[in-house]
Amino acid sequence: MFAKLFEWVALLHGGGKTPEQVCQEWHSFLIGFAEAFCLFIPSMFPQTTHAHCEMKEEFHYYGIGRAGGVLAWVLILIGIFK
């Protein structure tokens, strides 16, 4: 099921990417988002070598994910204190 999804997303990226590359991009984005949104993750679960290598190649997606996690916290806090 996910293989078909990543093939479809790779096609949307212009067809020049393999499903594995798209999977690495999403993985980097989700790690960045989770580290910013779930504040306990970086200290409790050190990064594995595999995840670190993927994020090194797709660091811009990791950075966007972290920004998304921070933005989610800002929106939550605005909603609480409004």
pLDDT digits (tens, 9 = 90+) for 57-75: 778 888 888 899 999 999 9
Alpha helices, DSSP H, located in the chain: 2-12, 19-37, 41-44, 49-57, 59-81
Identify the band that residue 19 occupies on the pLDDT scale cut at 50, 70 and 90. low
pLDDT band at 80 (very low <50, low <70, confident <90, very high): very high
DSSP state of 39: T
**Per-residue confidence (pLDDT) for residue 60, from 0 to 100:** 83
* 23, two tokens: 């999977």
What does the pLDDT read at residue 68?
92
Tokens representing residue 77 in the block: 């806090």
Overall average pLDDT of the 6-27 stretch: 70
More confident call, 42 vs 80: 80
* pTM of the predicted structure, to 2 decimals: 0.66
